[in-house]
């Protein structure tokens, strides 16, 4: 499973033809973009997105028009590690219907405290910048997918 990185303006996609890094801005999260170097059309692969700073997190959640699923986790947390493969499967199941992101609460504690994350793993669904639902604990990719679908219904 591919892991993508994000900055304060968008997702970073690597071009499969020329390996140029390109930015898919958050407002165009569901649109195809063209590689800045070779003009090849780039589609975002099904991927888990790692968000590593508060500015990028806030921009992504505020600007992406579709559902954003966030896995708040930490490296020392056993249940987080055991659910990690399900999060990857979830990214495959949701393809381009939602963004599946991971926030390491050790690396970005500001985001965890802004959203009052008290236990991990905690999963939160945002839609158009608003928290729609949250849940905690281990579960399968298919259950997580229905959790997202119910949250945005
Ligand atoms: Zn290219």
Structural domains of the chain in order of their starting residue, each with its CATH number: 2-7+45-151 (3.40.30.10)
Distances, alpha carbon 54 to alpha carbons 43, 61, 109, 130, in Å: 26, 11, 9, 16
Q: For ligand 1, a single-atom ion, which residues have Cβ within 5 Å?
A: 15, 17-18, 20, 35, 37-38, 40
- Cα(34) to centroid(ligand 1), Å: 8
Place of tokens 């059309």: 41
Element spanning 142, H or E:
helix 141-151
- Cα(27) to centroid(ligand 1), Å: 21
Element spanning 88, H or E:
helix 78-94
Return phi, psi of residue 45, to 5°: -75, 160
Mind listing the pLDDT tens digit for each residue in 80-133? 999 999 999 999 999 889 999 999 999 999 999 999 999 999 999 999 999 999
Instruction: Provide the annotated active-site residues.
Output: 77, 80
Mind listing the pLDDT tens digit for each residue in 67-79? 999 999 999 999 9
Mind listing the pLDDT tens digit for each residue in 1-33? 779 999 999 999 999 999 999 999 999 999 989
For the chain, how far is it from start to end, CA to CA, in angstroms? Answer: 28
Q: What is the model's pTM? A: 0.95
């Amino acid at each position: 499973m591919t892991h993508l990185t994000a900055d304060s303006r968008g997702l970073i996609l690597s071009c499969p033809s020329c390996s140029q890094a390109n930015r898919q801005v958050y407002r165009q999260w569901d649109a195809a973009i063209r590689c800045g170097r070779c003009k090849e059309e780039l589609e975002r692969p099904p991927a888990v997105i790692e968000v590593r700073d508060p500015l990028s997190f806030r921009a992504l959640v505020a600007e992406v028009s579709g559902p954003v699923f966030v896995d708040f986790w930490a490296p020392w947390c056993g249940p987080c590690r055991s659910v990690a493969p399900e999060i990857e499967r979830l990214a495959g199941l949701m393809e381009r219907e939602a963004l599946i992101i991971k926030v390491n609460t050790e690396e970005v504690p500001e985001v965890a405290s802004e959203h009052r994350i008290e236990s991990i793993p905690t999963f939160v669904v945002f839609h158009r910048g608003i928290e729609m639902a949250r849940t905690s604990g281990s579960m399968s990719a298919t259950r997580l997918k229905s959790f997202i679908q119910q949250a945005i219904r």
